[in-house]
Amino acid sequence: MKHTILIAEDDEPMRLLLDVLLKNKYNLVFKLDGLSGMKWLSEGNIPSVILSDFKLPKMNGFDFLSSLSQSGIFAEIPFIIISSRTDKLFKKRCIDAGAKGFLEKPFDPSQLYQILDEVLQNKIEN
């Protein structure tokens, strides 16, 4: 059975890239922002992982992460931030808020596969 990944990404070329890279191994659900991701989750959907861009309309990736981290139901879903911001303070802030991983844009596909494998392996072991 394939794991489901909720992907919050508003940039169409990035959505297409993620689709090409991940569709053969995972079930993918794309949302354009954190708010529509929250709505999808509130409808009873529980993905194995959430992959979210930081810069999103309506609800950015950090606010999406923060909302889920404070939720009893969704706090355990591994959350990975994707961002072109590379400063260490920003990364630390995301990890401190509950992100299980951080992927810098542009990224090598092997980095994406590695972080997803690590996060999913940790989820299975816990």
Percent of the chain scoring above 70 in pLDDT: 97
- List the CATH number of the domain containing 80: 3.40.50.2300
Please name the residue that has the structure tokens 């949302």: 31
User: How many domains would you assign to the chain?
Assistant: 1
Domain that holds residue 51: 4-125
Q: What is the pLDDT of residues 92-120, one digit of tens each?
A: 999 998 999 999 999 999 999 999 999 99
Distance CA 124, CA 110 (A): 21
Task: Kindly state the average pLDDT of the residues 19-43.
Answer: 96
Q: What is the pLDDT of residues 57-81, one digit of tens each?
A: 989 998 999 999 888 889 999 999 9
- Whole-angstrom CA distances from 107 to 55, 83, 93, 111, 113 are 16, 10, 20, 7, 11
Helix (H, G, I), strand (E, B) or coil at 79: strand
The whole-number pLDDT of residue 56 equals 94
